[in-house]
Structure 1
Amino acid sequence: MLVKTYGSAVQGVDAITITVEVNVDQGINFLLVGLPDSAVKESQQRIDSALRCHGYKIPGKKVVINMAPADIRKEGSAYDLTIGVGILAASEQMKSDQISDFVIMGELSLDGGLQSMKGALPIAIQAKKEGFRGIILPKQNAREAAIVEGLEVYGVENIKEVIDFFNGVGELERVTLDIKQEFYKNLTSIEFDFQDVKGQENIKRALEIAAAGGHNVILIGPPGAGKTMLAKRLPTILPPLSLNEALETTKIHSVAGKMDHNASLITMRPFRSPHHTISDVALVGGGGFPQPGEISLAHNGVLFLDELPEFKRTVLEVMRQPMEERRVTISRARFTVDYPAAFMLIASMNPCPCGYYNHPEKECMCAPGVVHRYLNKISGPLLDRIDLHVEVTPVPFSKLSEAALSEKSHEIRERVIKAREIQNVRYAESESIYCNAQMGSKQLREICRIEKEGQDLLKTAMDRLGLSARAYDRILKVSRTIADLEESENIQTHHLAEAIQYRSLDREGWAG
């Protein structure tokens, strides 16, 4: 008897429906075809043990299983339940009249229990798109799949529940979610707050500008000055995720298997902080079986690179194209996948190997020329994509001991949201531009016009400070964001003056 069950394969951040055809005929053999990997081939032993635990078995006949389309590689152990249900139905140990209405996925334990799987959300989205009535999957992933409205989602703990459901002797509990309630539940809850930071008002101001315009930032300062503490609080002043952004972010984390058990929707902007020993593949994504990298996991959020010069140069260089295009393309001989990568970069570094170059109190112990070599670990093209260079100085005792509380994150966020709303109106007709940091040369000429007084200030700054040519565009973009924060229609001279001070690493002679 021939029976078809349905599973799904994840490619990139989307899913493709897989038809599992099971035919039980005269003879003795077990054949599994359709380009399965080792984990899929090993499913026979897991399925056999799981079925025997509940009084069923793989029939002692010729069992042929085809996973179509056969030109797509089937990876992972999540097809165990799909194949197991197909074998039972084809051998008439279970009714098969409703099987074609459901996408069935899950890895089986030897006792018939189900383990969690990756990619539940994109699989559920594809099932809804193709008109399936519902999806049956491990209980741990049910809330994640239940985000998709109009699809019956059933979370199960073992294969016996599935068998009883199709035989009509048991019921499965449908998992439902109020998406709006899930979305708003944790939208404003924050772990860190700028209120906790003593002093550093100039750095907070720089991060507010960065958040308002979507600008990348690098913080330069000695150890213990508060660079990491400030960076961790940047997501708390970014505008809240929209529902579409939350779904997009959840999709990526689902594919990467980074969702917590029984989690549903990611409502907080991601903050990723990889260690400097990370490889280039781990950062941008890829591998033999491509997976999203850290830059994709930081999509719609913040990527924090602490101790930037300690990262391998090759690792940093592979970020250049994704930073511009806001996506990364992984190409293999058989296929190509795209992962979104629209993130804000915040990096931190010491000014020299010992950490105390330009320190107001401690003397730098580095030999002549060492500071230059240390800074040269970061290439010019990468620095070209970082709009704000901010010097962080240690907080004096008088500030640390102050009883007065600083401004709260939600107060700063309100100003950032207002500035972003201005930009939303400004770039409403541009498909690929959402904030000031993403302006191209054409938009820069149209939007960032400055008066003669401002032009003179810029000329003087470039001559006296030795600013590079690449700093010119960055200064204009940042000054446009500062003007938006003040709800000013035009860029004023004092907006330019503030933007100029955020180009530390472009100054000639900064490192001696």
Structure 2
Amino acid sequence: MAIGSALSVGLIGLKAFIVQIQAFVSPGLPYFSIIGLPDTSLSEARERVKSACQASGFKWPETRVTVNLSPASMPKKGSSHDLAIAASVLSAAGAIAHDCLAGTIVLGEVNLDGTVLPINGLLPIMLHAREQGIATIIVPYANLDEARLVPDVKAIGVRHVGELIELMGGDADYRIPEATHAVNADVGATGMCPPPGDMSEVMGQQAAKWALEVAAAGGHHLMMTGPPGTGKTMLASRIPGIMSPLNETEQLEVASIRSLCGTLPGYGISDVPPFEAPHHTASTAALVGGGAGLAQPGAITRAHRGILFMDEAPEFSARTLQTLREPLESGYVAISRAKGTTYYPARFQLIMAANPCPCGYAYGNGERCTCREKDRVKYFSRLSGPILDRIDIQIEVPPVERISPGNAPSGDSSHAIRLRVIVARQMAQERFREFGWCCNAQATSTWLRANTSPKAIELVNRALASERLSLRGADRAMRLAWTLSDLAGKTSPGPEEMMQGISMRTRLA
């Protein structure tokens, strides 16, 4: 009985698990089967692997070949197991030694001509391999730069199945197409995404810039309302430039998500928080995640540890907006499909922008507005009370009345604002060290009520009594007060910070 083995890694969301692949070459009519809950793309590996092995000079067995993917109860998907399947068959047929792949993970998609193609999701796989004590991993050559981001794991890049055979001490007869050489020569040449613009480039809007600074310092959600052309989109796009840089753990989380989505080469490992801005026509699946089989990440997961910006927020469908409620509270999204439930992280800051009405000119005395009253009400009613109640800061962005001459900067630069944000964040992290929270937005209601001064809480109670705040809104106003206190260099908020926090929450109420 000839059995060959190889190790691969599967992914369900960002959760990785080791897949043991065994190939059994047995007497019988020629047949090639893959068992162990493969999806459609993995079942199609039969034709890819057979052709790729033959393109490497290997004579495919004229008998029955069975490949099992273990654990059999876990669904496996994608083409990243192709190279490991080929290695197990080569081992079972004696083309390579039976024990040469012990303790080694093999990953890669194979083409019909034997070339090895890059895969998505390699970074979370590498991190899992390191946790499991795996010392060596064989990856597509085009993924080699990404694989080297994880220390303590030796990554070996291969461009062809024939290279794998030779690497394991076997004999191969193959030729790597010129097109493959050209692709591999361009590996790592993808340009990094440009940095966010500077906040001083936005003319005026000092009150809005201050609100964004507070949001960045405390991790608060924010909504801007104002007529067209006042700078709402410009302000939002510059928020990553004033946020506290990501720490090493957060950088790996963000990079793992980008690796799974196939966008990591365009970013690399960066300490700049991500910024996602889906169009208002985006579907619920595009925003939250979805797809057949096991769900893929959506915009809210790609915005993890960063900003989800929803421009023209009332233009999003009501159903799409309502799906944000649970992730805003829990920090993750659970997507259930027929083959199982996939969990993705979704701890993002929500930034919304909206016009005051469909035409956009219902501000000031409203003389330019051409909308009927019922159209105005219908337009803004898509932002339901429960959604608005989860927005910590709600501000108006009025038209700019005058511009500065020449190219004089308007207000502080992003760098200056970021330095203040970092100091405030460090104060919060030191205060919450024993709880593991990184910002005021994560503080619990119990902690806030126990540590906020009675005079400040009395102001919150008055707002509750007058129905200016809900109970959730009261907690968010207290979190804002603590952030304002940090920015002012105080150890705890007083009545002044609390009054300002309540004002920033109820501007649109």
Aligned to 1:6: 7
Aligned to 2:478: 476
TM-score between both structures, scaled by the size of structure 1: 0.88
Superposition map of 1:307-346 within 5 A: 307-332=312-337, 335-346=340-351
The alpha-carbon distance between structure 1 residues 279 and 3, as it changes in their structure 2 partners (threshold 3 A), is same
Distance in 2, Cα, partners of 1:195 & 1:121:
36
Aligned to 1:176: none
Q: What per-residue deviation string (whole Å, max 9, x for no partner) do you get for residues 324-371 of structure 1?
A: 111122334554332111111101011100101114786111112322
Aligned to 2:23: 22
Superposition map of 1:38-77 within 5 A: 38-77=40-79
Aligned to 2:452: 448
- Return the letter of the residue paired with 1:25: S
Distance in 2, Cα, partners of 1:404 & 1:283:
36
The alpha-carbon distance between structure 1 residues 57 and 443, as it changes in their structure 2 partners (threshold 3 A), is same
Aligned to 1:370: 375
Q: What per-residue deviation string (whole Å, max 9, x for no partner) do you get for residues 207-227 of structure 1?
A: 000111111000101111111
The alpha-carbon distance between structure 1 residues 423 and 98, as it changes in their structure 2 partners (threshold 3 A), is same
Identity of aligned residues (%): 37
- Return the letter of the residue paired with 1:406: G
The correspondence for 2:136, drawn from 122, 125, 134, is: 134
Mapped contact 1:450–1:492 kept (Cα < 8 A): no
In structure 2, the gaps of 5 or more residues are 173-187
Aligned to 2:308: 303
Shift of 1:429: 2.1
Mapped contact 1:48–1:57 kept (Cα < 8 A): no
Shift of 1:419: 0.8
Which deviates more, 33-42 or 89-98?
89-98
Secondary structure at the counterpart of residue 451 of structure 1: helix
Mapped contact 2:84–2:106 kept (Cα < 8 A): yes
Secondary structure at the counterpart of residue 33 of structure 2: strand
Mapped contact 2:14–2:124 kept (Cα < 8 A): yes
Shift of 1:169: 7.5
The alpha-carbon distance between structure 1 residues 57 and 430, as it changes in their structure 2 partners (threshold 3 A), is same
Mapped contact 1:199–1:400 kept (Cα < 8 A): no
Mapped contact 2:75–2:339 kept (Cα < 8 A): no
- Return the letter of the residue paired with 2:403: S
Shift of 1:400: 6.9
Secondary structure at the counterpart of residue 500 of structure 2: helix
Note the aligned Cα RMSD (angstroms): 2.6
The correspondence for 1:271, drawn from 270, 275, 294, is: 275
Mapped contact 1:145–1:264 kept (Cα < 8 A): no
The alpha-carbon distance between structure 1 residues 81 and 391, as it changes in their structure 2 partners (threshold 3 A), is same
Distance in 2, Cα, partners of 1:411 & 1:195:
10
Distance in 1, Cα, partners of 2:405 & 2:74:
60
Mapped contact 1:134–1:151 kept (Cα < 8 A): yes
Q: What per-residue deviation string (whole Å, max 9, x for no partner) do you get for residues 111-153 of structure 1?
A: 2112221211122222233333311111222222222222110
Mapped contact 1:391–1:504 kept (Cα < 8 A): no
Which deviates more, 148-157 or 234-243?
148-157
Secondary structure at the counterpart of residue 308 of structure 2: strand
Distance in 2, Cα, partners of 1:233 & 1:271:
9
Superposition map of 1:390-469 within 5 A: 390-399=395-404, 403-431=408-436, 433-451=437-455, 455=458, 459=462, 467-469=468-470
- Return the letter of the residue paired with 2:144: A
In structure 1, the gaps of 5 or more residues are 171-181, 508-512
- Return the letter of the residue paired with 2:23: V
- Return the letter of the residue paired with 2:384: S
Distance in 2, Cα, partners of 1:448 & 1:420:
18
Distance in 2, Cα, partners of 1:340 & 1:165:
38
Secondary structure at the counterpart of residue 373 of structure 1: helix
Aligned to 1:499: 501
Secondary structure at the counterpart of residue 363 of structure 1: coil
TM-score between both structures, scaled by the size of structure 2: 0.89
